[in-house]
Structure 1
Amino acid sequence: MATLIQRFADQALLCGEGPVWDTVSGRLYWADCGGEAIYAKGFDAEVPERVLDSYHAASLALHESGGIVFGGRDGFFHWNKGSVPRLVCNHCGEASVVDINDIIADPRGRVFGGQEAFREGEDYDTGYLFRIDLDGSCVIMEEGLHLSNGMGFSPSCDQFYLVDTVLRVIYVYDYDIESGNIKNKRVLIKLKKDEGLPDGMTVDREGFLWVAKWFGGGLSRYDPTGKLERTIDLPVAQISSLTFGGPFWKDIFVTSAAQYWETPLAPIGHDFSSSRGGSVYRIAQDIEGKPEYIARI
């Protein structure tokens, strides 16, 4: 099957993020963390529905009781249509649970979320990776993160993956499904500067990692040892996140960003003014993904 790239939602999202496919409704949900909104759209709809306004959401996970868990500037929330978002957590001991940039539910329904601590041109304290347990309690899982981003689990649930965008690295940890703990951190992948910045990520059914490349104009697929297996180019530069979905889990939905961010972190000679992004794309191809886990917090 040839790879087919289509525009799924023609938008000008400041920073599209957190796409997740809901099999019950047959719709994709995603956030515009710059525009403080969450959207949804199925294959049959012509335009996306704006389902939540005025909340900063940077990443999403589905919840078993319905609705969405989202992480953002003010912590972790659970939202059901027709209700006001419920604050789940905004403190972890003495640490403030703020500036959550990406989240993921684990196989038991806990939710991991990492902070965006990076402040360009300023001194800043590095951030944490938090875990919200089923009873709503919070645990600090990792520290020293600059811009925590995409996460994933191996199909056998013995490995946990985490992106730190500013360092251009993807870490791998040993993961214990029963306790939810991670250990033995090591670098699995380090991108070169001319490849762009690693952002959101997901893991397919074969255990390969798919990584969105901000300033890199596409996606990269790596095998579990960190070897690059393929790339898929997209017509915009600022690719932010991705997820699998559709009826056979062979559609890849990709978010992008229209915001202007001129930074020395970009590849040398990068053109910041043209074809940044902002729409959501659908890639129909022949590799099977798998559903993301459901939150139970």
Structure 2
Amino acid sequence: MRLTAHCVLPAAARLGESALWLAEEQRLYWLDLKAPAIHRFDPATGTDERWELALEIPLGCLLRRADDLLLAGRRGLYAVDFAGRALRFWFDPNDRPADTAFNDGKTDRFGHIWLGSSHIEEREPIGKFYRIDRDGAVTVADQGFPCSNGPALSPDGTVLYFADTVGLQVLRYDLDPKTGRLSNRRLFLQFAPEQGQPDGMTVDEEGGLWVCHWGGWGVTRYTPEGQVSARIDLPAPNVTSCAFGDEDLRTLYITSAKDDMSSADAARAPLAGGLFAVRPGQCGLLEPIF
């Protein structure tokens, strides 16, 4: 199956990222990591609220908590009050080299946050992959990545996917619900250079893994066995994150970036940095609350 996503918001984001659907608001939250801001998009009206942040770039990702959102920033995690336009520092694992930053993360169904860090210039393999427990305990689950991305979890939560962006690969781990430990690391996908680099990911209710292609002009759906089952084309080369939304969770919202394009790609992609949407036929899952 091959589909084309349409632009619902020509936002011209420098680095759009971290799409997160809140069902109770029927709105999509997302970030611009390099022109630091939290966005809230209302599909019913097409309006987008933008909250500019006085934080060091790049930002990382958004996560859900019971009564608020969490924002991973360059220096740690913050509790977010979007209505009051207020951030409150939560904590920082504080074992990271100075030239790293938090990047992408997700919450699992067993009470843990999974959060990756990356080398700022994405060259040195000093990024780590952390598990943060409900009591605030922090464990390094894996390490050695120039750029940590993804992650995504299977519908039952026992399989975790992780994108080693610079390594052009998606890894797959088993996740123990009782201990939160990862095991049985193995290669799930190996990208060819012409496919771009694996970036943000999400999973649908059937267990299909949707992988965004940085430099690859689209999103691909893979079955749990690693077979391609769908391709979504975008009129933008650098595709960064995706999340299912709307009342039926059947619209896939996709973020993109306008930075880091060649002059030729920039001429071909005037909508780069926009927010896109498509209804591919599958139903998504709500992100768990930490």
Normalised by the length of structure 1, the TM-score is: 0.89
CA distance in 2, matches of 1:127, 1:3: 34
CA distance in 1, matches of 2:97, 2:86: 22
1:70-98 per-residue CA deviation (whole Å, 9 max, x = no partner) reads 21211222212316322222235x44595
Matched, 1:292 2:290: no
Q: Which residue of 2 aligns with 1:266?
A: none
| TM-fit CA distance, 1:156 | 2.2
Matched, 1:174 2:174: yes
What letter corresponds to residue 71 of structure 1 in structure 2?
A: A
Secondary structure, counterpart of 2:194 in structure 1: helix
* 8 A contact 2:125–2:145 mirrored in 1: no
CA distance in 2, matches of 1:261, 1:8: 21
**RMSD, matched Cα:** 2.2
CA distance in 2, matches of 1:188, 1:197: 14
Matched, 1:162 2:165: no
Count of matched residue positions in the alignment of Structure 1 and Structure 2: 284
* 8 A contact 1:209–1:221 mirrored in 2: yes
* 8 A contact 1:102–1:148 mirrored in 2: yes
| TM-fit CA distance, 1:3 | 5.2
Q: Which residue of 2 aligns with 1:215?
A: 215
- Give runs of aligned pairs for residues 1-297 of structure 1, distance below 5 A: 5-55=5-55, 56=57, 57-65=59-67, 67-81=68-82, 82=84, 84-92=86-94, 94-95=95-96, 99-117=101-119, 119=121, 124-260=124-260, 271-274=264-267, 275=269, 277-295=272-290
What letter corresponds to residue 166 of structure 1 in structure 2?
A: V
- Identity %, equivalent residues: 29
| TM-fit CA distance, 1:234 | 0.9
Distance verdict in 2 for CA 1:96–1:85, change over 3 Å: farther
CA distance in 2, matches of 1:185, 1:141: 11
What letter corresponds to residue 251 of structure 1 in structure 2?
A: T
CA distance in 1, matches of 2:121, 2:51: 30
1:194-248 per-residue CA deviation (whole Å, 9 max, x = no partner) reads 1111100001100010000011100001111111122111111111110111111
CA distance in 2, matches of 1:193, 1:74: 32
| TM-fit CA distance, 1:12 | 0.8
**Which is further off, 73-82 or 100-109?**
73-82
* 8 A contact 1:260–1:272 mirrored in 2: no
Distance verdict in 2 for CA 1:196–1:12, change over 3 Å: same
Distance verdict in 2 for CA 1:197–1:103, change over 3 Å: same
| TM-fit CA distance, 1:11 | 0.7
Normalised by the length of structure 2, the TM-score is: 0.91
| Long gaps (5+) in structure 2 | none
